[in-house]
Structure 1
Amino acid sequence: MQPQKLNALQLELLNMYSFQPKEEDLLAIKKMMAEYFSDKLQSNIQKAIEQKGITEADLDSWVNE
């Protein structure tokens, strides 16, 4: 098995954690990252809905299946 290389995000996080931030800072960073990826996901979902012409009725129907 070949070792995997770290991606840019992983390397940046390793650099950041090498400074040993306080626990409250780690929690704030985790929250920021969660919000960032949540916003990105919501944006991608909205784009897909618009591109595919999905309606509110379609979404309601799928939820109730």
Structure 2
Amino acid sequence: MATTSTLSNIQLELLRVYSRHVSDEDMVAIQKMLATYFSEKAIHLADEVWDKNGWKAEDTGAFLKEHNRKSKAS
């Protein structure tokens, strides 16, 4: 049975750009750049939610004390 998998647009782009061997040093640098990009994007989105809700620094203490886990059914 044949299995098909579809590559994402970023995977295809990276395959095109890096169709040649890159050094381990370059690979680490690229991984760091990607991690930085996605972490900054997540922070920006979190900041938007924070601002939209009008939360203040004082609210962080309340967030830390919240218990949001659901108990397992016995």
TM-score scaled by length of structure 2 = 0.73
Structure number with greater Rg is 2
Counterpart residue type for residue 28 of structure 1: A
Return the alpha-carbon distance in structure 2 between the equivalents of residues 12 and 28 of structure 1. 17
Distance 2:41 2:64 in 1: 22
Where 2:58 maps in the other structure, the secondary structure is: helix
Q: Which runs of 5+ in 2 are unaligned?
A: 67-74
More helix by proportion, 1 or 2?
1
Alpha-carbon distance in 1 for matches of 2:7, 2:44: 27
More RCO (CA 8 Å, sep 6+): 1
Distance across 1 between alignment mates of 2:29 and 2:62: 37
Query: C-alpha displacement at 1:15, in angstroms?
Result: 2.2
1:9 equivalent in structure 2:
10
What are the ranges of 5 or more consecutive residues in structure 1 without an aligned counterpart?
none
Aligned-pair RMSD on alpha carbons? 1.7
Aligned to 1:18: 19
Q: Name the SS of the counterpart of 1:31 in structure 2.
A: helix
Q: Give the direction of change, closer, same or farther, for the CA distance of 1:50–1:24 in structure 2 (3 Å limit).
A: same
Alignment TM-score, normalising by the size of structure 1: 0.81
Structure-1 residue corresponding to 2:59: 58
Q: Distance in 2 between matches of 1:51 and 1:3?
A: 42
Query: How far 1:56 sits from its partner (Å)?
Result: 1.2
Count of matched residue pairs: 64
Identity fraction in percent: 34
